[in-house]
Amino acid sequence: MYLESVITHLLCGTAKPEELHEGGPSLQAVRLGKRKAVHQGPSSSIEPTNLESDLSESKDLAKFFPELVATANAIMTESHDANPDWPLRDRAPAKTRADGRWEW
């Protein structure tokens, strides 16, 4: 799905409206048109935001758009290939270093 989206973007200048990106310790994000849904681990909730009106992605729209949460969950579940080398797990809490910077 991801490779197909990249190829579509390169050849046509636009990506598909539904894209899944995975990275880090269980971070998943789905782009759904002007909205994006982020899932930061198995025990966290899916947080949808509107990329046009909320550039900082600070407003969680889950209670207003439960169908968006359901759609994002279905895409994340269907697109994820379980692998024992890359298990879905919760992120460790961030720590602040002595110099005040975040450490993951």
Task: Give 31-53 as a DSSP string.
Answer: EETTEEEEE-STTSPPEEEETTT
- Answer yes or no: pTM beyond 0.75: no
pLDDT for residue 77 = 85
Contact predicate 24/91, CB 8 Å: yes
Question: Two tokens at 70?
Answer: 């359901």
Tokens 């025990």 locate to: 43
Contacts of 89 (CB under 8 A, 6+ apart): 25, 26, 41, 42
The identity of residue 10, as a single letter, is L
- Segment holding 56, helix H or strand E: none
Give just the sign of the alpha carbon dihedral 90, 79, 20, 75: negative
pLDDT value at 68 more than 80:
yes
Average pLDDT over residues 50-79: 89
User: What pLDDT is attached to residue 101?
Assistant: 64
